[in-house]
Each structure stands twice: as structure tokens, then as C-alpha cells.
A and B are shown apart, each in its own frame.
Chain A
């Protein structure tokens, strides 16, 4: 990936999200403005329930905003049909989840290959990309293992490989260290930092200030609103 910090990759304008259940409305997000440029490493921080994951889901096109406009690569994506959203998600977004979310009945190789199969790539190209991604995260020696045969840290590496394999425009990481011990957590964060150095655009949700500092910029959420944006010390350094 070639960093192009002048290019706005993601633009959220006045985004709001309301969940309605049994006549009760929950305002998860309101009036959120956010820009993420190509090659940037942004962390979204805030207390539990402040809307971090909801914001990440909207960025990742897993949720539609109730209000506002969302542009990805300059194109409006707010009102796209499900199939179009799935296609963009498949090509432009790589997800890394807190609980890894690997499919237990698929091998490491098949898990990493999964998003590529939905893209209709040839077998040879899929194989090449999967091997490259696993090589990149240091898991090429475990291709035929099942997730249950791996440690938490290894599972998260596989999840990162899966996110990378599609060569997405942005990596979205939702508490990627939440289910890991500190050593494995650090290792994953190091991996993300390496990827960023390689040019990857990353948006990470975390409530841990230690990991938030790895990002170029931290967006602080509270009660569904952006209350602070700051350039982190590491980035400044």
C-alpha cells in the first residue's frame, strides 16, 4: 500500500444512529463528524457503551446510519443496497475483531481465503494472496490447522491475515487485544504498527489508552458524540 496522506478515504458528516427496540429509542451516535485519510492510523477511544463499536460498524458498512452522510473514497455509501454494501465491504474493508471471529470448521488457510472466495478470484490468485498474508503475520506454517488448535494470539494473527488478504483500503480493528493477554496484545499491536508503517490505513477501537497511543490520532467518544480529537505522542514523535 502506498500512503497518500492528502487523500480523504473516509468522510462521515453529522452521522447519527438510533436503535429502536420495543418502542424504546437508544441514541448510539449523534452528530459525528470524522475524516480518515489514506495511510492514517486512527484510534477511537471512550468508555464502554459510548458508541465506539457502532461507529466502527458504520465505517465498515455493517450498519447503516440513521442520519448523516458517509462517503468512502469520495463516493456516497449511506444508501446502498445490501449486496452493494457487501461487495464494498469485501473489497475495501478488512475487519479484525476482539473475539477473532474465525470460523471453527475452516482451516487457517480457508479462513484467510474466505473473503477472496466471495470476490471470485481464481484459485491460483487466492492461494498466492493467502500465503502472502499468512507470511506477513508469521502464520504460514499453520495453514492446515483449525482455529481451536491455535493460541489466542495466533488466532488474532490469522484474523489480521484474513483482513489483509483482500488488500483492503482500510483495516478496522475492534478491540483487537481485548481477548489477549498483555504479551500477545503487545505483539498484535506491534503487527498493526508494522502494517501501518507499510502504508496501511487503520481505524482501531480501543478503550485501553496504552494501545490508543499507537495511533496517529485518537478520537474520543462520549455518549455517542466526538468530544475530543488529539494527535498522539507516538505519532508526534
Chain B
């Protein structure tokens, strides 16, 4: 410990005495570690987060699978069969999502994000309420479910955190419910279920006990101790097969189950791949930074040969010297780590605020947090240790083997770099250039892919469009579908005459999102598809004129009209993809399809074909879904999106719209109001963020690489000052010497480019799965990356070479 303390003191003293060296190294490390920590904290929040429940590996999501889907929910009958007959789970629970309206005295109705859950839901998760209690088992029974639990943050924010409210009643829609418990805030991780405000018991009617349809229950279970996921899958799979045999006429016939850990169920492959790619790119920047610092350390080690030799002569073993040098590296990394954590903290905090600022208006949410938690700190420390080894070990290994006799005999304070050190430095340049090329190509490809995604024509127009979510109050007067239609028609008429509004329309979902679900359908007159094949469509609903409102075009047939009501013949409009897929050689107009369950009973005539729309959140927007649209007035919705086509700046109409809604129906829920452009931005918010991050990575990497090459070349040239003096003294033209230095300086750059080209090829091939619109060989990106890198390296070589050749020969000769 004594010597460690001395090593530490000496290391600190060296840094103080060499502030420029220390500053450059610490800033480089702080930038690299900060960048990597920031990216990891985002990735950690996105895909590596820890579930806030005990033994989370035993929490399993159970999905229903079919030939065309892998992640579907369950019917009540199936869930109850699984729950009663499985032998592998301690408990199973079911849940669904809903959005009840909270009615507070003297407040407008407010839509909440909610879940309906089995009574054992919290017990299964291992979560006890912060205050109050969880649900009792009998509260899943009809008539006994008028109890509610609230999220702690919501309860504090909206109800003042008053514990006296426990046991008191609230109005949720038409129901008066009793608040029984407060759920700890940690359940609200944005990558899990989103920011759920309210939980209510899931009510299962006795009549539903044997129902195999509809499928709407999400199911999770806690494995018994010692049971593996594979064993659980085998058990549930056998149960699913038996259920299918017992119910041959249900959809169960071709279905099975799939199990995922709850943790894995919150990840998706595109996000995971993007996160890993970002981590890899940030890792490249770290590597470049490490190579730079290693270069500096090598140069410094050359100046410290004598010191190392003295220490060795006085009896320091190699491990003594290594420890001394690595302690110095550790001090540098420690300072870099501190700076990096500060930078990362600012960075992710700013990013979180930026994202929330874009989300809060349209999602009533403010819940994206990138915490610098224990995992992030552990990662940063591990990264710092790795960094210290990367940049410190090789120079330390070299410096710890000084030629003592030679160094002490020379007695000088500097030593010329040995051939081995020069070669090592050359390889560092090679690796730096290679990694930088891979980094630039990676950023270029990834950035180009994102820009391709952002440039995708969605198939509808977004400018001068205002969208808002509307919901009719759950009151007696709107139980009747005609009453609902009446008030919505009145609202539409008032909106269409509002100053500044060109047109208005309804649709339960906006086209920019992935459709909520798919349905099997049949074509009248055609036999059902053979087993293993299905015909799927993604049903939507729009009001008459909605296509025109969004700038879409009905390409064949007609649009919906006000006469397409519930009492009229059922009609449907399909998109081009659906028409092309299922009627490749004929017109679909006049054909009749049904999305009803067997036997088909609700045939609807295809009256039009509308252009395709693409969802921006998709990683493959070229894969267009087969959509079918039903007339809004043939459905019986109590909630919808209202979209206005405006002649003025859309969000300037928000107050007028709010007043109009309130005049017509004060209890109508009205929220998430924003321009369609803002929705688009929020929907693909991660994409421009990724582009900016990539641009930052590329710039930082390029800058570090250029500085690194400059440092190496400058040092190498300074070592050759005497030689340059001799050349000049014997009459060599300065241009010739300059070209010689440039040629020699660029030699490792060319080798690095060749290695980087090979690495780039591997990168292109391995990352194609997550890149959109990128060819096998992206020649433009490669060319730009190479040209930029060569120019930076050439400049880095040219500047020290030019300086060296401007020195007077006699001055250079005296440098020996």
C-alpha cells in the first residue's frame, strides 16, 4: 500500500507538471467515456433495464402463436384452462389495457392509461403497494370489481398524495370506484407498459368461461422454482394441443404457445439491433481515442526511458515499473471517467428532456428517463478499466523493459524511438485509420438508412392538419349508437364550418401508426385458403372524405358517402397492396369480403381502392400492409380521432376547436391535440436523434483520428529533424523532402484504409438487416468516407512535414 500511495502521488505530480499532456488525455478520455456511457445509459434504458420485481427471470409472458403471428393474446377460456391445468407456474395472471375517464369535481374529464388485471397480478410480480392493499381474489368477480389502485406519481401529482383518499371513492367513467392502494412508481418504466395511471380488477363473466374467442387477454406467469422456460413451454404446448383437440372448430386448431421472459417481451429486434449498432459505433470512437492516448503515452515513454532505467537500476522489478505506469494511466482514466460521467449525465438528461418535450403534448406522458443507475456506473467503470488497459498496457509493457545500460550510459533526458517503437506507432496509425474508416462508413450507412426512412412518402399529407383524440362521455344518453352518431355528426358539421378549417373527418386510428390488429377475411365465392395459409387484412375505419382530407386518393371506385350508414349495405375500401395481392389479375371492385368469424356473415362489398400508406415507425416501410377501410358511420364508435384540414397554422385553432367541443358536449374527452406534423415527428423521434448522434460520432471520431495521425507524424518528423537538416544541407530541395515525409507519413494511412475497407465490407454485410434502402456495396458512402479520411490524414501529415522542412539546415543539424 505504501508503494501504491507513492505511485499515486507521483502520478498526480507528473500530471500537474505536464498540464497539456494531462489535459489532452483527460479531455479525450472524458469525451470517449462520456459518449459511451451516454449511449449505454440509453441502451440500458431501452433494452438492458432491470425489471423492478424480485426474481424477474421467472416472470414469463405467454403468447398465442398461429401460422401468421407469434405474439397474440388469449381467449378467456384458454387462459383459464392454462391457469388451472399447468404444472409449471406458481401463478398465472391476465391483463388488458384500457383508458378510463377520470371525473374530478370542477375538472374536465381526463383520459387515463389503465390496466385491467387479475387480482393476483401484483402478487405474481412480487410487488406490494406503497400504501393500502392490492386486489382481493374475489374482486375479479362481476359486481365486486369497483376498486382501483393508482400509480404513486399520478396520485401525488393529481390527487396531492393524500393518504386519506384511501378507502374513498373516485369517478371513473360512469363507475364510482374505491381507491384501495397506491402502486410504487418503479412499475412505470417507459419500456414496460408505459405510464399506467390506474389498475382495476379484470372482470371475468361466468359465461365467458368456455369462450375461445375473442382473444384479448395478455397472460404472464411466475415459474415455479427450478422449472426452466423450456420445461414450461413443453407443458403449456401440450396443454394447447389438448385444448385444440377438445375445441376442433375454434381457431385453436392451428395454434400453439410461445414463451418469453417478461424482460425479453419488452424488447423488439429493431430497437435492439439499432442500440447494438450505436454501442458499436460509440465503441469505435473509444478505440480511436485509446489509440490516440496510447500514441501520446508511447511518445512520453520515450522521454521517460532514463527514469525507468534509473528505477530498474535501483532494483525495481518489471512489475514495479508496470504498476507505476498503470497507476499513472489509472489516474488519467479516473479523471477521464469523472469528466465522462458528468458529460454523460448532462447529455442523457438533455436528451430525456428533449424527447419528453416532444411527447408530452401528444401522449399526455412525460416518462422517458435515462437514469445513470448502478448498471450504467458499473459499465462506465468497466469501460474505464478497459480503456486504461487499452491505452496504458502496451506503452507500459514497452516502457517497463528499458535498456538500462544503454539509457544510463547516454545519460540524456530523451531517447530516440527504437525501430520496434516506430513500427508499433505505425501499426497504431494503421488501426486508427482502419477503425475510423469503419466508423465513418458505419455512421454513413446508418445515417443514410435513417434519412431514407425519414424521406419515405407516407402516402398522405401532414401539413396544415390538426389531429385530436375525442371520446364521448360514458353516460346513459350515449348508450345508443344513434345518439353517438348524432353528436359526432353535429361535431363534424360544426368543425367543417369553423373559420380556418377546410375539412374535417373521423378515424379511430391515425394512418401514421401500425394498425391495431389484423383479421382473417374470406372472399365470397372463393374457397377458404388451404391449411397453413391465411388471408389477413388490417381493418381501419374512416369517415366520408377522410382520404381526401389527408391528401390520399381513391384510385378506383368511389369514396364513402354519408349514405354509407349502419342501415345501408356494408361496403369496404381496400388499399392497393390488398388489391394487388388478392386480385392480381382482376378488379376487386364489386367483390365481397368478410372479416367475420366462421361462418362468414357480414359480407361487405369493395367499392373503392385507395393508395397505400406507410407507417414511419416501421423499420421496413416498403413492406406495406393489406389494409381495408370501413365507413365510420357503419361502426358504432364512442371514441375517435378528429382530423382537421386547416387553411391556417393548425395549432392556432386549438382553442377554437376546444370551445366548439365544449359548447356541444362539455363532458366530451378532448386531448392529445397537435398538428399531424408534430405527431409524425414524435412517432419517429428516435430517427433524427440517431442521425444527430451519428453525425456527432463521425465528427468526433474523425477529429480524434486526424489529431492522432497528426500527433504521430509530428512526433516522427521531430525525431528526424537532424536527418532533415542533413538532407537540406546537402542540397535537397525542400519540396522533395516534403514529399518524402508525406509519402512516408501516408504509408500507414494507406494500409489502414485497406484494412478499414475490409472491415467496412463486413459491417455492410452484417448490418443490412437493420438498414433500410442501402445497397450491398454503398459506393457513395464508401467514397465520401475514404475521401474525408484521406484528406484529414493528408492534412495531419502535411502540417508537421511543412514545418520541419522550413527549418534552417544548421538549426536542424544542431538538434542531434
B-contacting residues of A (Cβ < 8 Å)? 53-54, 57, 60, 62-63, 82-83, 86-87, 89-91, 93, 95, 97-99, 101-103, 105-106, 110, 114-115, 117-120, 122-123, 162, 166, 174
Contact = CB atoms under 8 A, between A and B. Distances in A.
Interface stretch (B10-18, B280-288, B638-646): B10-18
27 contacts: A62-B312, A62-B404, A86-B316, A87-B315, A87-B317, A89-B314, A89-B315, A97-B408, A97-B411, A99-B408, A101-B306, A101-B309, A101-B310, A101-B313, A102-B310, A103-B307, A105-B10, A105-B13, A105-B14, A105-B17, A115-B314, A118-B311, A118-B314, A118-B316, A120-B2, A123-B2, A162-B314
A21 B411 CA distance: 21
A54 B403 CA distance: 13
Size band of the B side of the interface? 20 to 34
A120 B317 CA distance: 12
A95 B314 contact: yes
Interface in B294-343: 306-307, 309-320
A115 B310 CA distance: 10
Nearest to A123: B2
Interface in B721-761: none
Contact of B313 (A87, A89, A91): A89
B6 interface: yes
Contacts of A86: 312, 315-318, 320
Contacts of B3: 117-118, 120
Contact of B315 (A97, A101, A115): A115
Contacts of A110: 6, 10
B310 A103 contact: yes
Nearest to A121: B2
B313 A60 contact: yes
Contact of B411 (A60, A63, A90, A98): A98
A38 B306 CA distance: 31
B404 A118 contact: no
A174 B409 CA distance: 9
Contacts of B658: none
B396 to A, nearest CB: 16
Contacts of A166: 315
Nearest to B307: A103
B410 to A, nearest CB: 9
B405 interface: yes
Contact of A114 (B314, B405, B408, B411): B314
Given A62-B405, A63-B405, A105-B14, A114 B317 contact: no
A183 B51 CA distance: 79
Contacts of A103: 307, 310-311
Contacts of A122: 2
A60 B6 CA distance: 26
Given A54-B405, A97-B411, A101-B306, A118 B10 contact: no
Interface string B376-399: 000000000000000000000000
Nearest to B5: A123
B2 A117 contact: yes
A87 B312 CA distance: 10
B267 to A, nearest CB: 51
Given A87-B315, A105-B17, A115-B315, A99 B404 contact: no
Given A57-B405, A86-B315, A99 B411 contact: yes
A69 B672 CA distance: 91
Given A86-B312, A103-B310, A118-B320, 5 more contacts: A83-B318, A86-B315, A87-B317, A89-B314, A90-B314
A43 to B, nearest CB: 18
Interface in B3-37: 3, 6, 10, 13-14, 17
A82 B314 contact: no
A83 B319 contact: yes
Contacts of B314: 89-90, 95, 114-115, 118, 162
Contact of A82 (B10, B13, B317, B409): B317
Contacts of B17: 105
Contact of A83 (B10, B14, B317, B404): B317
B408 A101 contact: yes
Contacts, number: 80
Contacts of A90: 314-316
Contacts of B405: 53-54, 57, 62-63
B320 to A, nearest CB: 5
Nearest to B18: A105
> Among the interface residues B306, B317, B318, which one has the most CB atoms of the partner chain A within 10 A?
B317
B15 to A, nearest CB: 11
A114 B6 CA distance: 10
A103 B10 CA distance: 11
Nearest to A119: B315
> Among the interface residues B6, B17, B306, B309, which one has the most CB atoms of the partner chain A within 10 A?
B6
A54 B405 CA distance: 8
A82 B401 CA distance: 10
A76 B774 CA distance: 70
B62 to A, nearest CB: 61
B552 to A, nearest CB: 75
Given A82-B317, A118-B320, A123-B2, A106 B10 contact: yes
A119 B3 CA distance: 10
B398 to A, nearest CB: 15
Nearest to A115: B314
Given A97-B408, A105-B10, A117-B6, A62 B313 contact: yes
B676 to A, nearest CB: 66
B592 to A, nearest CB: 90
Given A62-B404, A62-B405, A63-B405, A114 B311 contact: yes
B774 to A, nearest CB: 52
Interface in B402-427: 404-405, 408-409, 411
Contacts of A53: 405, 409
A78 B320 CA distance: 22
A212 B35 CA distance: 64
Contacts of A105: 10, 13-14, 17, 307
A-B pairs with lowest CB-CB distance, top 6: A90-B315, A99-B411, A115-B314, A86-B317, A57-B405, A83-B317
Nearest to A122: B2
Contacts of B408: 62, 97, 99, 101, 174
Contacts of B311: 103, 114, 118
A110 B324 CA distance: 15
Nearest to A56: B405
A131 B6 CA distance: 18
Contacts of A97: 408, 411
Contacts of B14: 105
A121 to B, nearest CB: 8
A229 B542 CA distance: 114
Contacts of B317: 82-83, 86-87, 118
Contacts of B13: 105
Contacts of A162: 314
Contacts of B318: 82-83, 86
A115 B311 CA distance: 8
A95 B405 CA distance: 12
Contacts of A174: 408
A226 B404 CA distance: 24
A201 B781 CA distance: 73
A95 B314 CA distance: 7
A89 B2 CA distance: 21
Nearest to B320: A118
A177 to B, nearest CB: 14
A53 B411 CA distance: 13
Nearest to B9: A110
B787 to A, nearest CB: 41
A67 B315 CA distance: 24
A114 B315 CA distance: 9
A103 B320 CA distance: 16
A192 to B, nearest CB: 18
Contacts of B411: 97-99, 101
Nearest to B6: A117
